[in-house]
Amino acid sequence: MNFENFIANFADQFDDTDPSEIKADTKFRELEEWSSLIALSVIAMIDDEYDIIIKGDDIRNAETVMDLFNTVKSKA
């Protein structure tokens, strides 16, 4: 699992947000498009792409995209 792949998959969950806006230090919950529906899409993407189950608490406890990546990586 590498971060570049993760961030591309993460950015794919957004329809209106430019992928170039999403970086390691992006506070994803502050993105205008962020919603509970996108959170569910991210959870599903992580399950599909990495075969790792995360919960809503994992997303709530992550502040940046890198925090979320590290959470997913720790469960691998």
Residue 18 lies in a domain: no
Quick one: average pLDDT of 10-16? Answer: 97
Dig out the tokens for 48 from the structure.
């599909």
Residue 9 lies in a domain: yes
Task: Say how many domains are in the chain.
Answer: 1
Q: Which residues of 5-29 are buried (b: 16+ CB within 10 A; e: fewer)?
A: ebbeebbebbeebeeeebeeebebe
pLDDT single digits (tens) 15-26: 999 999 999 999
40 vs 59: CA distance, rounded Å: 10
Residue 19 lies in a domain: no
The CATH number for 43's domain is 1.10.1200.10
Predicted TM-score (pTM) of the model is 0.94
Structural domain span for residue 70:
3-13+24-74
Q: What is the pLDDT of residue 11?
A: 98
Cα dihedral 10, 19, 3, 50, rounded to 10, equals 20
pLDDT single digits (tens) 14-71: 999 999 999 999 999 999 999 999 999 999 999 999 999 999 999 999 999 999 999 9
